[in-house]
Amino acid sequence: MPQMTLVQAINNALDTEMARDERVVCLGEDVGLNGGVFRVTEGLQKKYGPDRVIDTPLSESGIMGSSIGLAMAGQRPIPEIQFEGFMGPAYDQLVNHAARFRNRTRGAITVPLTVRVPWGGGIHAPEFHSDSPEAIYVHNPGLKVLCPCTPYDAKGMLLSAIRDPDPVIFFEPKRVYRSFREEVPEGDYTVPIGKAKVVAEGTDVTVISWGAMVFQCLEALDGLPEDLSVELIDLRTIHPLDFDTICESVTKTGRAVIVQEAPKTCSMASELSAILMEKCFLHLQAPVQRVCGFDTVMPYAKLELQYLPDAPRIAEAIKQVVAY
Amino acid sequence: MPQMTLVQAINNALDTEMARDERVVCLGEDVGLNGGVFRVTEGLQKKYGPDRVIDTPLSESGIMGSSIGLAMAGQRPIPEIQFEGFMGPAYDQLVNHAARFRNRTRGAITVPLTVRVPWGGGIHAPEFHSDSPEAIYVHNPGLKVLCPCTPYDAKGMLLSAIRDPDPVIFFEPKRVYRSFREEVPEGDYTVPIGKAKVVAEGTDVTVISWGAMVFQCLEALDGLPEDLSVELIDLRTIHPLDFDTICESVTKTGRAVIVQEAPKTCSMASELSAILMEKCFLHLQAPVQRVCGFDTVMPYAKLELQYLPDAPRIAEAIKQVVAY
Amino acid sequence: MPIRKVYENSIEFVQVMDEQGVIDERLGKDLLSDEQITFLYEKMVEYRRLDEIAFTLQRSGRMYTYPQNKGQEAAALGSGFALRKGVDWLVPCYRENGALFLHGLPPELIFLHWMGDERGNAIPAGVNVTPIAIPIGTQMLHATGMAWAFKQRKEDRVVCTYFGDGATSEGDFHEAMNFATTFKVPCIFFCQNNQWAISVPREQQMASETVAQKGFAYGARSIQVDGNDLLAVYKVTLEARERARAGEGPTIIEAVTYRLGDHTTADDARRYRDSEEVAAWAQKDPMIRLRKYLEGKGLWNDAKQQVVEDRAKAFCSEIVKKSEGIAKPDVNDMFDYLYAEMPEELRRQKETLRTHSLGQDPSQAGLRSSAASAR
Amino acid sequence: MPIRKVYENSIEFVQVMDEQGVIDERLGKDLLSDEQITFLYEKMVEYRRLDEIAFTLQRSGRMYTYPQNKGQEAAALGSGFALRKGVDWLVPCYRENGALFLHGLPPELIFLHWMGDERGNAIPAGVNVTPIAIPIGTQMLHATGMAWAFKQRKEDRVVCTYFGDGATSEGDFHEAMNFATTFKVPCIFFCQNNQWAISVPREQQMASETVAQKGFAYGARSIQVDGNDLLAVYKVTLEARERARAGEGPTIIEAVTYRLGDHTTADDARRYRDSEEVAAWAQKDPMIRLRKYLEGKGLWNDAKQQVVEDRAKAFCSEIVKKSEGIAKPDVNDMFDYLYAEMPEELRRQKETLRTHSLGQDPSQAGLRSSAASAR
Ligand SMILES: Cc1ncc(C[n+]2csc(CCOP(=O)(O)OP(=O)(O)O)c2C)c(N)n1
Ligand SMILES: Cc1ncc(C[n+]2csc(CCOP(=O)(O)OP(=O)(O)O)c2C)c(N)n1
Ligand SMILES: [Mg+2]
Ligand SMILES: [Mg+2]
């Protein structure tokens, strides 16, 4: 089995599905001839032609809104928003139309599209190239929000996403794009939406994360005392949520730390903490802790690594919650 | 002192500040000659002229983006977005520019604007006329988010908002616009941003709410057994949050119910639950409960009252959390 | 030459039938048969009556809000008639009911929508119409995408999207026009310029002299038409349809018309516009004009009118009955259609009609005593 | 007349100095003095060299990303020179450094910005320039609002906003132009049409023949100019400025130019465009053209060039020194400027550099033993 980076695995998934289903079209800024600014769509236009791998005008609402129309009329569009910071202009179409058409029409009109979004910080990029807006799309009803962080999961989940009858946002952690490789099958396989993965089993404390932060958590775990038994969960999908995996783990450990890049307030970490309050109250041995980006704007490159949770911050929280 | 509705109190606040500060301009769709679709700006164009109470094109990003420019150049714009459901097109300008300019420029450029937004359900209006998106604007850093529900608070807080050096979203609960009257001083006074109000004192359980839901909570309290002592907190401002008032109350009561119109997941209710987890863990006698809109799209008029929390749902949660 | 002209263009205004109901023979020849015109006039009467009934329903509290179509029926019917039922698609706003009805939309669905019922948007399969769009300007991109899909699949279909003068101020209008022209999709952009966007008159909405010239920004074919002239509207829409089918891309049509009623039943237009203006436009009512034409040709008289009025009455009662006769939606409805597969938490909310955990899982309430010791 | 013309318009292309550096006497007369042209040529050389230095800094890892301005300097300097320093305002995108420098922006701020430092956006008071705009198209609305404020306060100021050809596809371009013309604000919309938006050529970005004609959608004055001709750019900007000051509203200027470099240092333009195309445009380099003119007039020679090059070198080292010499921002910086008054929770985060509650309030960690019994 070939070793692939995240970029390669996603490219491979797109290739796999475009070959299988001619309704699939990729569209976005620079995704065609240039193969995307991260080269995720590299080679696809050559293989499938400019009518299926489409360079669009610089117009995010246009990309999202016309993708909705494409999906309504039976295509399977995969729009790319070049960076998560440019989802703003597409926000209205995404949350108010893509997410709502099925409900609005009592099932008569559906919008099976998959928005691909390079996502998150850590690559020293300019403003709006390093944000983590995922919670926004969890709060707005009607979307599925996927945040895989490994090449294997990404390919399998992207194939699930494209085949899903509902709109999916597929967040791709830029920081992981080329920094990690693993074996990924060339052929067709899927990883289900809505299932978390237990990355490390443990009994003392549960660490819950997703996206690039999973790697920071792993690093943190490395530095912890041998006798501390940590369970690490990679949510992979943040909406719909895998309640069972989380609740079983925290019921077992009685302690939890949630790690995300996004700012803390009103975030996915808040939701997870509230859920643990509600579902595991009597099992909690310590208050659930949130290790997050700060409640300020993601700084420019010089300070971004001080904004993002890192192994020491995560390790400290784990130790404190265990010592509580 | 005159009795005023919420509509009158807000109109009176705008009038007060426009008379006091000539930098204040109101702009939006139909706010001028027509006095706003809810008549909140009634009479102001006549008094202050069409250059200060301005009917704009139908263009929410235009309204928000040009208001940012007005504020950058020293005016004090008060844009109105006609219904909260139409904030979508203004989202990018609001969260990515209004909210960020001060930080982006290390304080060199500031954006003192106050966005007025008729907000929430319960008035049998069409789609996009009954939503509760406030959590979105709490998660995005850089804004202040106000949700007063009484005429007195609304006037005093609107005056604080307009004078605040930073961008403020001022959500106005439509359902309360004309359904409640109280004494409101004609003259100048302010109610501070970031201070919650204890509406009813109690010792058994804390109920936290804001906006039109405060009235539903009051109704719920009316139906509870006499010997149940409920503390009701109207947050009034949801960002920045009044930690002291909430935490002191829950430290005292050991139990909390949060009531909001918005969908539950990744919401302000989630944040409050997480905060109580973190700050009051050892005082909690029961898991904090969230009584919210359901995690689906606000239904059209025929079902909206079944979507929104009402007195029975709130009362039930209070009783269950107390009985726990 | 250091200063040279690099682009020029102009907008034409098309009228086939004047306000007296007299047809320009050159343009009007072979456009529509007398039978077709009679049919469309009869529909116009029926739909006008239905519009009036909706208004009275709202006034008596049996409908929540309703935007009257009155005065704009020629634009809706003329354009709708130029499109192929069951083949082409209509992507409307909310003031072109007649076009939707012509294409088979059951009128009671429009009533249901305004009665606050999502089932009004559950368009039956085979009816090529999308639901009413509440947020102004957003539907044009959906139309563009749909037309693009048909182009990608080489299906011979045209999409026509409707919007108002106010809608052209939204960014989405711009992005839709630009996508549609750049990718040459078979889409018609049909603007009902009814002179007002709630209280804002066209001149305060834009500084351009016409709406049609906005098409120049996209290299689109752009035309202005008398929107109260059914024949002219039919003519330009048919031409736009054929251009689209021939792969020549989108056309923007500005139909110059007037909103004779209030913006919606929640509005009172007397607050912001002169009664003289309304009276002047009432003279141009497309229904009157069409009747004059038919009468001039000896095709119409009071007796025929009475027959149509009677039919319209029956039609209206039927629609009222259908839309009011339906049972209130089940509360499950608000959960059942959000996703194809219901997420676990949403299912809990549906089953309990509760969001608080003790309400969702009452057994948890008893947990404390048994588990507290474990803590 | 049933079909009549209701609107017509055309776009003119203006060139004052041809590619050989020869001036059209009629248009060029009294436009700029030889001293002024010499000054601007010297600035062009200095800024070109600074642009090259930024590129090499990035390549050696001393800057994160940088978008080269190379080839577009006539558009920046010609327009910037037509605006009144300290009076008018510039609202840029990121490819008009020269205009900003002319208006007093310390060049090291641009370097700091691209080195990933918000202090690069802390424009000193008195410099009428807003910071580089990263999200494409958003700044034009800010410019519109600023111009509107000046109009409301009756201040004699004009705002000029810069953007690329790609930016005109965004909805915000449309909304800004529409607001600006509807409210007749003193704003100039200056489009640097450099033929590319990253890898997307102009013809795939839009179906319109020119960018300038987009102004017709708004009833704006619309003009196309040779963007590599400093004099022509100066001329049309000056005219636009005077129209704005006279209360005649906005002008859209399309400066036809070319991006000689990659999109940014993160880009490799060879992947998507022909080297012949680049070579052909390199012939039209505005710097070469201006030098030809000066040489033709006997105002320039190699010796003078050497003086300027030496000065440019010193200038560049100084900017590098200033931008690299500054200490790394304090970590507090990311908290201190979000609000005028710091919210309580943000203060906790700042003080502890933690978001988890036990990290923010370590005393809580000891709470358990003392308070557990209370539970
Ligand atoms: C995005 C958005 N903003 C505001 C509104 C409120 N609103 C409803 S209709 C309307 C005016 C529409 O004018 P126009 O496009 O000319 O259509 P008309 O009603 O005249 O047919 C407004 C402002 C809305 N529905 N959507
Ligand atoms: C809203 C938004 N979408 C996408 C991008 C990514 N991006 C940066 S520059 C650019 C192309 C801009 O082209 P143009 O407006 O012609 O300006 P140029 O770079 O050619 O000067 C793109 C797509 C962005 N910065 N902002
Ligand atoms: Mg209108
Ligand atoms: Mg460009």
Domain boundaries, chain B: 3-183, 197-323
**Helix C34-59 and helix C302-325, axial crossing angle in degrees, nearest 10:** 50
The pLDDT tens digits along chain D (375 residues) read 689 999 999 999 999 999 999 999 999 989 999 999 999 999 999 999 999 999 999 999 999 999 999 999 999 999 999 999 999 999 999 999 999 999 999 999 999 999 999 999 999 999 999 999 999 999 999 999 999 999 999 999 999 999 999 999 999 999 999 999 999 999 999 999 999 999 999 999 999 999 999 999 999 999 999 999 999 999 999 999 999 999 999 999 999 999 999 999 999 999 999 999 999 999 999 999 999 999 999 999 999 999 999 999 999 999 999 999 999 999 999 999 999 999 999 999 999 999 999 999 877 765 665 544 444
In angstroms, the separation between the Cα of residue A249 and the nearest Cα of chain C is 16
The complex's ipTM works out to 0.98
The tokens describing D137, both together, are 């198209």
Q: How far is the CA of D173 from the centre of ligand 1 (A)?
A: 20
* Mean pLDDT for the stretch of residues B154-167: 98
C181·D7 Cβ contact <8 A: no
Predicted local distance difference test score (pLDDT) of residue C373? 44
* Mean pLDDT for the stretch of residues C166-178: 98
Contacts of B100 in chain A (CB under 8 A): 297
* Mean pLDDT for the stretch of residues B290-312: 98
Angle, CA B281 vertex, CA B275 and CA B286 arms, to 5°: 100
Chain D within 8 Å of B144 (Cβ-Cβ)? yes
Q: What is the distance between the alpha carbons of residues B205 and A159, in angstroms, rounded to a whole number?
A: 48
Closest CA to B279 of B254, B297, B260: B254
Cβ pair B259, B308 in contact under 8 A: no
Q: How far is the CA of A129 from the centre of ligand 2 (A)?
A: 12
**Helix C139-152 and helix C171-182, axial crossing angle in degrees, nearest 10:** 10
Predicted local distance difference test score (pLDDT) of residue C364? 72
- Strand pairing partners for C17? C23
Q: How far is the CA of C94 from the centre of ligand 3 (A)?
A: 11
C370 has a pLDDT exceeding 60: no
Its pTM stands at 0.98
B3-183 and B197-323 agree in CATH topology: yes
Chain D within 8 Å of B165 (Cβ-Cβ)? yes
Tell me the average pLDDT of chain A: 98
DSSP for B14-34 reads HHHHHHH-TTEEEEETT-STT
In angstroms, the separation between the Cα of residue B263 and the nearest Cα of chain C is 9
D117·A300 Cβ contact <8 A: yes
In angstroms, the separation between the Cα of residue A32 and the nearest Cα of chain D is 9
The 3-state secondary structure of chain A reads CCEECHHHHHHHHHHHHHHHCCCEEEEECCCCCCCCCCCCCCCHHHHHCCCCEEECCCCHHHHHHHHHHHHHCCCEEEEECCCHHHCHHHHHHHHHHHCCHHHHCCCCCCCCCEEEEEECCCCCCCCCCCCCCHHHHHHCCCCEEECCCCHHHHHHHHHHHHHCCCCEEEEEEHHHCCCCCEECCCCCCCCCCCCCEEEECCCCEEEEECCCHHHHHHHHHHCCCCCCCEEEEECCEEECCCHHHHHHHHHHHCCEEEEEEEECCCCHHHHHHHHHHHHHHHHCCCCCEEEEECCCCCCCHHHHHHHCCCHHHHHHHHHHHHHC
Predicted local distance difference test score (pLDDT) of residue C375? 43
**Between the CA atoms of A167, A173, A178 and A180, what dihedral angle is there, to the nearest 10 degrees?**
-100
Closest Cα to atom 19 of ligand 2:
D197
Contacts of C136 in chain B (CB under 8 A): 58, 86
Closest Cα to atom 7 of ligand 1:
C136
Mutation pick for ligand 2 pocket among A29, A34, A58, A82 (CB with most ligand atoms within 8 Å): A58
Chain B within 8 Å of C67 (Cβ-Cβ)? no
C124 has a pLDDT exceeding 90: yes
Chain A within 8 Å of B297 (Cβ-Cβ)? yes
Predicted local distance difference test score (pLDDT) of residue C361? 87
Mutation pick for ligand 1 pocket among C165, C191, C198, C199 (CB with most ligand atoms within 8 Å): C198
Q: How far is the CA of D193 from the centre of ligand 4 (A)?
A: 5
CB pairs under 8 A between B and D: 153
* Mean pLDDT for the stretch of residues B172-183: 98
Tell me the average pLDDT of chain C: 96
- At the topology level, CATH places domain C13-324 in Rossmann fold (3.40.50)
For residue D89, what is the nearest residue in chain B, using CA coordinates? B73
For residue B64, what is the nearest residue in chain D, using CA coordinates? D141
- Ligand lying nearest the CA atom of residue D69: 2
* Mean pLDDT for the stretch of residues C194-222: 98
Contacts of D200 in chain A (CB under 8 A): 29-30, 55-58
- Ligand lying nearest the CA atom of residue A86: 2
Burial A162-182 (b: 16+ CB within 10 A, else e): bbbebbbbbbbbbbbbeebee
Among the partner residues B56, B126, B289, nearest to C65 by beta-carbon distance: B126
Q: Which residues of D are catalytic?
A: 259, 263, 272
Local confidence band at C374 (pLDDT 50, 70, 90 cut-offs): very low
Among the partner residues D4, D172, D216, nearest to C217 by beta-carbon distance: D216
* Mean pLDDT for the stretch of residues C249-278: 97
Q: How far is the CA of D171 from the centre of ligand 3 (A)?
A: 20
- SS3 of chain B: helix, strand, coil, percent, to 5: 40, 20, 40
* Mean pLDDT for the stretch of residues B223-230: 97
Catalytic residue among C48, C157, C221, C259: C259
Q: What is the distance between the alpha carbons of residues B4 and A10, in angstroms, rounded to a whole number?
A: 60
Predicted local distance difference test score (pLDDT) of residue D1? 64
* Mean pLDDT for the stretch of residues A211-231: 97
A136·B139 Cβ contact <8 A: yes
Predicted local distance difference test score (pLDDT) of residue D368? 60
Q: How far is the CA of B82 from the centre of ligand 1 (A)?
A: 10
Predicted local distance difference test score (pLDDT) of residue D375? 43
Known active-site residue A129: yes
CB pairs under 8 A between A and D: 152
Mutation pick for ligand 2 pocket among D140, D141, D198 (CB with most ligand atoms within 8 Å): D198
Distances (CA, A) of C180 to A212, B83, B115, C189, C220: 38, 29, 34, 10, 9
Closest CA to A140 of B82, C133, B117, B297: B297
- At the topology level, CATH places domain B197-323 in Rossmann fold (3.40.50)
To the question of domain A3-183 being in CATH 3.40.50.150, the answer is no
Distances (CA, A) of D52 to D65, D113, D312: 13, 16, 11
Q: Is the CB of D206 under 6 A from ligand 2?
A: no
Give me the phi and psi of D92, to 5 degrees please: -90, 170
Chain B within 8 Å of A301 (Cβ-Cβ)? no
B302·C116 Cβ contact <8 A: yes
Chain B within 8 Å of A132 (Cβ-Cβ)? no
Q: What is the distance between the alpha carbons of residues C138 and B253, in angstroms, rounded to a whole number?
A: 48
Query: How do the domains of chain D map onto residue ranges?
Result: 13-324, 337-374
Predicted local distance difference test score (pLDDT) of residue D366? 59
